[in-house]
Structure 1
Amino acid sequence: MLLSDPTLAVFCLFCAAFFAAGLVRVMINLAVLDHPGDRSSHETPTPKGGGVGVMASFFLFFPLVQDITGHSVLRTDVFLTALATLFLAAISWFDDMYQWPAFIKLAAQCIASALVIAGGTAVAWPGHISGIILSVIWLLFITNAVNFMDGLNGLISGSLIAGNFFVAAVATYYGFPDLMWSALMMAACLLGFLPFNYPKAKIFLGDIGSQSCGLLAGTSALYMTRHTPLPSGWLLGPSLLFPLIFDVTFTLLRRTLARQSLMQAHRGHLYQVLHRSGMNAALITVCECLFVVWGGVVAVYVAHQPPVSGVCIALPLLLLPQMGWLALAVIRTKKHPVGRW
């Protein structure tokens, strides 16, 4: 008896998770070490490159699931996004090993973003050219935001798993059902990695994992914005990513106002400050994942609102838990001083 297509696709998801886990074990044994630095939360050298397992599994099983579910991988937007992610993953892996200068990473991110935009995945407003520029800025920002926030066990992998499951759950409601299986595939691959990184880290994603996942997260948000028929449906991507966006934006603004170098490695992100104040790392990760889910709930709540009304309603609701998170950091650092942050 032949399996139905959805059943076979789900089977592929399980295979992807186990294959990713197997490759992560290989990377642990390979032991490309991440030595503690100025922005590190760990104290002993720990293997990195878990993203090799995540991305290799994703690119192996994603085309298979796409074919099973009747979605072509030869579409221009899918093909160029895959090419962009492979390119950025390759550069990021070499950077993980050889610690290349920052301008090389930025150049690779720009090329990858350009490839994504060339595939047609860009916002169409406020105009054609301005929409392209805005889309490139968005991709660069989200790629780096995910990279910056990948500094605590399970935080990024857990947040992206939560976000991808949420996207898969509401994809049909939002009008882009073809995104459901790709979101589930990314969640499955990250689930294969998560047990090796949370609650105790045996390996880190590395830049190959964080930057590649960041590019895909930013691209998915652009795709959702471009294809949803709901008036405020475009808020789904930014709302799910809002915990990362808030932390990175707040930290950049604070360091700018304090006249601290934006290029210097630091441990001044809110999640790092809370960890330095003695807050349990596993609890911080759980809270960040819950913030992602809250962002998704807010996005669904405002989806049918006119665009301006949607923003006016969603923004305070998204800011509320983040302001509480910031207040908690201030209170804890007064009781448990962490120095300048």
Structure 2
Amino acid sequence: MEIKYLLAFGAALVLTLVVMPVLIPFLHKIKFGQSIRKEGPKSHMAKTGTPTMGGIVFVLVPILVMLILDYKAFATPEMLIVVFAYLGYAFIGFLDDFLIVVKKNNDGLKPSVKFLLQSVLAVVFYICYTYVADTSIEIPVLHLSLNIGILYFFLVFIMFTAESNAVNLTDGLDGLCAGTSLIAIAPFIIFSLLKGQHDLAMFLLAVSGALLGYLRFNLHPAKIFMGDTGSLAIGGLLAATAMVLKQELLLIIIGGVFLMEVLSVIIQVTSFKLTGKRVFRMSPLHHHFELGGMKETQVVLMFWCIALVFAALGLWLGVI
């Protein structure tokens, strides 16, 4: 079994490292480049035209690796929910990215349409999951299981919609989202092993290998961006994984960086609407530090360190 874990991680890593050098020039050739929003930092305008939709690779490669190594791993309802959450939110992101590329501006899917699609998937996964599991949540540290009934629907709905959007907001600096996502996935690999969910652990290792391979080309200066295809997929993956492992509450802590990013946007918008003043130089939060004089690489490294603290705390709370 340990060999399969290593094979899943290694095969996904190597395959991604092989595919990326072929994909990047191809995306350049067909002009699938990123359009940078005008409201963002001026220094980011130099990134216009950088190939996007790199998330396609780290979404499809892990699934291909799993099908080759052990196609029976997808036989359980829990695994199917995780995989289809990964694919489903990736598809929403792909639609958004495709429209952005075609229109040559940063306007993809209308926010209302995007949220509607995210919401529909959240409802579908809630229904599918409650057919095979109850509506209880585990209380960390106390080792209690609490059945919250219909409230579980609202928890799952918020998890999927908020997590996918939060990860999406974090994708604003070279290497930021991929690095923090890798760190956030790590505790769930350990939780999977502790709960005997070996197939899920293997899949998450394959995703981690593919993400690490992608990160090789996404570090500053990035040669490719993941786009909404990748960021929404990761958000959906984290939410689905937390749900099937009954670690819904720990997702809040483990995904602390994503929570910080989305809260910074909420605070900024609310403050400006109510008082006409901004709390941050710019939101999401990573831009605040960037405009404060920190180099992009310094901001990314700082957020990686913060993500490590959150992940370690969440893991500790989950195993004590």
Corresponding residue of 1:48: 52
Q: Measured at CA, do residues 211 and 304 of structure 1 come closer, stay the same or move farther in structure 2, by a change above 3 Å?
A: closer
Residue 9 of structure 2 is matched in structure 1 by 13
Tell me how far 1:33 sits from its aligned partner: 0.8
Q: One-letter code of the match for 2:80?
A: F
Match of 1:209 in 2: 230
Give me the whole-angstrom Cα distance separating, in 1, the residues matched to 2:307 and 2:313: 10
Change (3 A) 1:300 1:93: closer
Structure with greater contact order relative to length (CA < 8 Å, sep ≥ 6): 2
Change (3 A) 1:100 1:221: same
Could you say which residue in structure 2 is the equivalent of 1:271? 286
Letter in 2 for 1:14: G
What's the CA shift for 1:175?
A: 6.3
SS of the counterpart of 1:47? coil
Q: Report SS of the residue matched to 1:293.
A: helix
Deviates more, 1:31-40 or 1:270-279: 31-40
Decide which moves more: 92-101 or 20-29.
Answer: 20-29
| Structure 1: gaps (5+ residues) | 227-233, 306-341
1:153-189 deviations in Å (ceiling 9; x for gaps): 1111001112223332454446655532222111111
Alignment of 1:178-193 (within 5 A): 178-193=199-214
The answer to whether the Cα contact below 8 Å between 1:166 and 1:293 also exists between their aligned partners in 2 is: no
Tell me the CA shift for residue 258 of structure 1. 1.9
Asked whether the equivalents of residues 239 and 299 of structure 1 are also in contact (C-alpha less than 8 Å), the reply is yes
Normalised to the residue count of structure 1, the TM-score between the two structures is 0.75
Give the Cα separation in 1 of the matches to 2:228 and 2:319: 37
Equivalent position to 2:215, from 170, 186, 194: 194
Which position in structure 1 is the counterpart of 2:102? none
Structure 1 letter corresponding to 2:290? H
The residue type equivalent to 1:95 in the other structure is D
Count of residue correspondences: 287
CA 283–174 in structure 1, closer or farther in 2 if over 3 Å, else same:
farther
Percent sequence identity is 21
- Shift in Å at residue 105 of structure 1? 1.5
| Residue-by-residue CA offset, 1:10-49 (whole Å, 9 max, x unaligned) | 1232221122233333332213111221354522211111
AA at the equivalent of 2:9 = L
Amino acid paired to 2:162: F
Shift of 1:211: 0.5
Residue 212 of structure 1 aligns to a residue whose secondary structure is: helix
Question: What amino acid sits opposite 1:35 in the alignment?
Answer: S
Question: What is the letter of the counterpart of residue 183 of structure 1?
Answer: L
> CA–CA distance in 1 between the matches of 2:128 and 2:69?
21
The 5-angstrom pairing of residues 1-341 of structure 1 reads 5-29=1-25, 30-31=27-28, 32-38=32-38, 40=40, 42-44=44-46, 45=48, 46-67=50-71, 72-98=73-99, 99-120=108-129, 123-124=135-136, 127-169=148-190, 171-173=192-194, 176-225=197-246, 235-259=249-273, 267-303=282-318
What runs of 5+ residues in structure 2 fail to find an aligned partner? 100-107, 138-146
Over 3 Å counting, the alpha-carbon distance change for 1:12 and 1:171 in structure 2 is closer
Query: How far has the Cα of 1:117 moved from its partner?
Result: 1.7
- SS of the residue corresponding to residue 246 of structure 2 reads helix
